[in-house]
Amino acid sequence: MGTVTIAATYGAGGSVVAPRVAEALGLRMIDRAMGRSQAAAAAAPLQDAERYLESDELHESRLTAILSRAMSVSGLWAGMPLPPEDIGYDQRIMETEKALRQAADTTGAVILGRAGVFVLAGRPDTLHVRLDGPMEARCRQAMVITSTEYNQASREMKDGDRARHAYIQHFYPGEDWEHPRHYHLVLDSTAVSLDTVVAIIVGAARDRFAGGRTGA
């Protein structure tokens, strides 16, 4: 079979789409490391990091400490190519990255988040997908998916987007999580139904796994 990685911003429907894609393809589902509560927990230290990045006195060790604190309280894992001594890397991160590669090498999987697009980059047996949409539309969709009020959904959207962006930016310097070059499919999952989004991803995955295309 093969593997599908899905990167999704808050409210884009990743938590709905990914399990349904996994079921349709008969693949194991590997959920994202950071849920709503973890993103909220990471919000404060990430705000500290953002303020620090904008300051005139930037020391990498201090920034690392702030981001490590966010990782500790949130459980977020983003994967990283830098040496462990440079970023506070620990065994949990190494094991997570290893597990993603092992899943791709054996049974295949649908991976939601976890920087799967970077960990499994360049593999011909993997389809990389990004789900996004306008902020207001994502907020409205999140209200339906999570049964939350507008203000709470808006706050969680900002926390979640900030958390994932900050970690990718720090642990993958020079890479842009949002850039379409990393993905085979980029879908506005607020513009069409999530049923349609699932169908598009499943069809594209089957085509890629069957050798319909050989490009990375």
**pLDDT at residue 85 above 70?**
no
Residue 171 has pLDDT above 80, yes or no: no
| 66 close to 48: Cβ distance less than 8 angstroms | yes
Taking Cα atoms as reference points, which of 168, 184, 78 lies closest to residue 131? 184
Residue type, 20: R
Q: Which has more confidence, 161 or 70?
A: 161
Alpha helices, DSSP H only, in the chain? 14-25, 36-53, 60-74, 84-87, 91-105, 116-119, 135-146, 150-171, 194-209
Q: Residue 132 to residues 1, 31, 85, 103, 109: CA-CA distances in angstroms?
A: 26, 17, 34, 26, 21
Average pLDDT over residues 15-41: 78
Q: Give, as one character, the DSSP assignment of residue 213.
A: -
| pLDDT value of residue 193 | 96
Instruction: Band the pLDDT of 86: cuts 50, 70, 90.
Output: very low
Would you state the torsion angle of the CA atoms of residues 85, 86, 91, 94, taken in this order, to the nearest 10 degrees?
A: -130
Q: Which CATH superfamily is domain 3-209 in?
A: P-loop containing nucleotide triphosphate hydrolases (3.40.50.300)
Under the banding of pLDDT at 50, 70 and 90, the label for residue 1 is confident
pLDDT per residue as tens digits for the range 72-83? 444 443 333 334
Q: List the domain boundaries for the chain.
A: 3-209
pLDDT band at 51 (very low <50, low <70, confident <90, very high): low
In the DSSP assignment, the letter for residue 156 is: H
174 pLDDT more than 50: yes
* Residue 172, pLDDT above cutoff 70: no
Identify the CA nearest to 12 among candidates 180, 140, 119, 170. Answer: 140
The reported pLDDT for the residue numbered 38 is: 46
- For 158, the token pair is 């900002």
